[in-house]
Structure 1
Amino acid sequence: MAKWTPTHEAPEPLEGPVVATITGGTILWFAMFLVQLPFYGWFADRDLLWWVWTCAAGGGLGLIGVWYVRGRDAALKRHAAEQAEQAEQAAGGEQPR
């Protein structure tokens, strides 16, 4: 069988409002958890408690995701600022530190 090779390069990844997206998803998971809590007995009677705990886990993992993407966003901004500073120093004839 012949090996397939791509005929063009992959596009650059899109950068969007990642922090807002993850935060919104986390809020939705916690909201679904809270909405299901009054029906805990109904879920337990039908062996569907995993629905409740899946929403709780989604909210908890979302908190980790928010922490991670905020740090990533800050690191990207720091890197862009450092690159701009180095470009400015190179254009001005100053030696980089």
Structure 2
Amino acid sequence: MAKWTPKHEAPEPLEGPVVATITGGTILWFVLFLAQLPFYGWFDDHGHLWWVWTCLAGAGLGLIGIWYVRGRDAALKRAAAATASQDDSGDTPPATA
């Protein structure tokens, strides 16, 4: 069997509204938690109580995710601004052929 080797380079990752996506998912998990609270007794009687706590865990982990992606987004913007300021000041050496 021949070893698999890529025939082309992997594409660049897509960048989208990451903070908005994580925030929306976190809100959705929390809304699902709140929607299940009135039925807490039913979930407990039928052995599905973990559904309620899974939604709360999703909301809690989403808060950590929001903190993480906001920091990542800020770091990317700082790096882009630093690169732009270096390009404007002419500190980068000229490219040689």
Q: TM-score of the superposition, structure 1-length normalised?
A: 0.92
Matched residue pairs, number? Answer: 91
1: distance between equivalents of 2:64 and 2:8? Answer: 36
2: distance between equivalents of 1:3 and 1:59? Answer: 43
Q: Equivalences for 1:52-63 in 2 at 5 Å?
A: 52-63=52-63
Counterpart check, 1:90 vs 2:90: yes
User: What code does the residue aligned with 1:85 have?
Assistant: S
- How far residue 78 of structure 1 moved from its aligned partner, in angstroms, is 0.3
Partner of 1:69: 69
- How far residue 3 of structure 1 moved from its aligned partner, in angstroms, is 1.0
User: What code does the residue aligned with 1:77 have?
Assistant: K
Partner of 2:24: 24
2: distance between equivalents of 1:71 and 1:39? Answer: 37
Q: TM-score of the superposition, structure 2-length normalised?
A: 0.92
Q: Which runs of 4+ in 1 moved over 4 A?
A: none
User: What code does the residue aligned with 2:20 have?
Assistant: A
Partner of 1:47: 47
Q: Which consecutive residues of structure 1, in runs of 5 or more, have no partner in the other structure?
A: 92-97
User: What code does the residue aligned with 1:60 have?
Assistant: G
CA RMSD of aligned residues (A): 0.9
Partner of 1:2: 2
User: What code does the residue aligned with 1:57 have?
Assistant: A
